[in-house]
Structure 1
């Protein structure tokens, strides 16, 4: 059993379809009004069928009042880290502290390269992401005097000024699957943000993955609890009878999610499907019962 004791968060994983932009924004507004904690958006800047995710987050922040928003996850090769840090901090201040940061080393390299990004190997992606996390945190660190200097393999910053400071302590969540990236997550990140359907071996692999993250955290002088475990769940639906994980009646959803907390260490759940009725039911019927059940078990 692995439970890192984090508070539970519930939200959505939205497809930023350019064909129905108002529907996309309405999904964020629905989540905000329903009482969900997070709205996150896929980030594929090379995909012309999608809205630009950063522009969408900014617009959605202006249309909502309490829900937090994030990219899930931002494509680092097309989001220069110093600029991304300033954008996040700026919008966090404008939205009264409601912006989080999910980031990944990159995927779909043909599309990235076509848009002017640099194609990286898996090992290079790890190094680039580590450098980027350092730059982002340096930009936000206004308590340190002097400019920012990094002569990295992939990013160079020479005397850049610090700031603005975000309105709240913005966590950095990393989308990672392979061993070296998982070790980076444990050593440097504030959260692990995978999609269940992309985890090789599914839930059976999660204990081993948690162990790798925990070992890397300990080796870096951190606690395993410093790394929140988030989870995207794409194939979900409410059904009269049980069919699969998060495909069944409300009671099954509650049991499934409580098990993911208590047995696998996850504490943040982001559902796909882009269905406002499912999001509303998730907020009203599932989330409160999961919180209650987990509190009892803890």
Structure 2
């Protein structure tokens, strides 16, 4: 059993497809009004039908008032870290801190190369991603940034502006080397969808993160744990994802907090996005928060 004690938070995934714009804007407004914690947008810039994630989020921040935006996750091989930190700091200033950066090393080698990115081996990608985290952390804090290595050639950058609140750097990871980078260098772990990393595989991955964190002198409990959850609430004919009524969703997410160690859930509806979101926000979210509080209070 693993419970890191973080307060549960909840988000909704938005589709960056250009043909889904009307629905995306409606959902963003609804989630903002409902008090959800995050709106998450994936980043597959090489998909012709997808809007650029950064541009879409920037527009959506102007249509919302309080909700935080999560990049889920930005491809670091297509977005150089110093420039990305500049963009993030700028948006952090403009939105008064409504931004959390989910970052990924980039696994689709051919697609990345097709857009002019580097063609890196798996090991090179891991090293590049970890160095990028350090570059971004330094740049977001302001001051001078310099890193000349096998993976970066940042010869001297006077970073700024400094955002009004620290911007968390969460890392998308699935395999052991990137999980270890998460433990050493990131503020949070973003797990792939629950159909790609099923619950029974989670404890072993959490262990890798925790061990790497301790070896680096970090407290594992301070690293956020985020699960992208695809599924449907209610009757739905489908074998993948989390399928069930409000009770099933409430009990399952509660268990994933107190048993698996997750603290943040990003909902990816499989059907009728608006109706699914409304049930999730109005019934599942408060019920999970209440059950987690009760269980923790009994320990």
TM-score normalised according to structure 1 size: 0.94
2:189 to 192, 198, 212: 192
The structure that is strand-richer by fraction is: 2
What pairs with 1:132-151 in structure 2 (closer than 5 Å)? Answer: 132-142=132-142, 147-151=144-148
Judged with a 3 Å threshold, the aligned counterparts in structure 2 of structure 1 residues 220 and 60 are, in CA distance, closer, same or farther, namely same
Q: Which has the higher contact order (CA 8 A, sep 6+)?
A: 1
**Structure 1: 4+ residue segments shifted above 6 A:** 240-245
Does 2:242 align with 1:252? no
1:163 aligns with 2:160: yes
What is the TM-score of this pair, normalised by structure 2? 0.94
| CA offsets 1:144-169 (integer angstroms, 9 cap, x no match) | 5xx21111222121120021112211
Q: Which residue of structure 1 aligns with residue 125 of structure 2? A: 125
Structure 2 segments unaligned to the other structure (5+ residues): none
Tell me if structure 2 keeps the 8 A contact 1:245–1:256: no
1:1-298 equivalent positions in 2, closer than 5 A: 1-142=1-142, 147-195=144-192, 196-199=194-197, 202-239=198-235, 246-273=242-269, 275-298=273-296
- Cα root mean square deviation, aligned: 1.7
Following superposition, the deviation at residue 218 of structure 1 comes to: 0.1
- Give the Cα separation in 1 of the matches to 2:205 and 2:175: 9
Q: Secondary structure at the match of 1:266?
A: coil
DSSP-derived class of the 1:234 partner: strand
State how far apart, in whole Å, the 2-side matches of 1:245 and 1:73 are: 20
Partner SS state of residue 212, structure 2: helix
Alpha-carbon distance in structure 2 between the residues aligned to 1:250 and 1:258: 12
Structure 1 segments unaligned to the other structure (5+ residues): none
Alpha-carbon contact 1:192-1:228 (below 8 Å) kept: yes
Aligned residue pair count: 293
